[in-house]
């Protein structure tokens, strides 16, 4: 299933069973594992079994699998760990193999504080405020629709 295990990718090595990983759930295209540097108890990574740097480069089937596995694992987190919510975001920069972070998040914890600060930042700078203007929104929407 893995295209290139020779590239030194830790996620490819985990998928192939060469490197250890605490497997939580998997299907034929995706795997959920515990993160070895967790933000909170139960922090998981959901990775495609094929080595692809960015989630938007996955096939439709791989993308559907990735987000289906993420939902299944998030439901398991909600049932067993009882967080306020499960934070989800996609990465791939530091380790160039698509991975979705699933982090059980509680009011006042590090991610809650981070995203609260990010939302305040998003609402305040003049440069970002200009992006909310109708003309700017219409321009970007048109560009994205016509791409």
Beta strands at 99-105 and 85-91: parallel, antiparallel or unpaired: antiparallel
| 29 Cβ contact list (under 8 Å, min separation 6) | 1, 48, 49, 50, 61, 62, 65, 66
Answer whether 58's CB lies under 8 Å from 69's CB: no
51 is catalytic: no
Three-class SS state of 31: strand
Active-site option among 43, 51, 97, 99: 99
Spell out the residues 6+ positions from residue 58 whose beta carbon is closer than 8 angstroms to its own.
48, 50, 52, 66, 98
- The backbone torsions φ and ψ at residue 25, rounded to the nearest 5 degrees and listed phi first, read -160, 150
Q: Which residues are catalytic?
A: 99
């Amino acid at each position: 299933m893995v295209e290139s295990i020779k590239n030194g990718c830790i996620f490819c090595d985990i998928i192939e069973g060469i490197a250890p990983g605490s497997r939580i759930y998997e299907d034929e295209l995706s795997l959920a594992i515990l993160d070895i540097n967790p933000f909170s108890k139960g922090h998981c990574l959901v990775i495609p079994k094929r080595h692809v740097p960015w989630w938007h480069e996955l096939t439709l089937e791989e993308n559907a699998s990735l987000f289906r596995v993420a939902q299944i694992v998030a439901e398991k987190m909600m049932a067993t760990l009882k967080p306020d919510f499960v934070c989800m975001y996609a990465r791939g920069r530091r380790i160039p193999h698509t991975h979705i972070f699933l982090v059980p998040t509680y009011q006042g914890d590090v991610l809650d504080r981070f995203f609260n600060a990010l939302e305040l930042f998003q609402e305040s700078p003049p440069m970002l405020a200009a992006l909310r203007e109708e003309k700017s929104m219409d321009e970007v929407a048109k560009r994205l629709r016509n791409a």
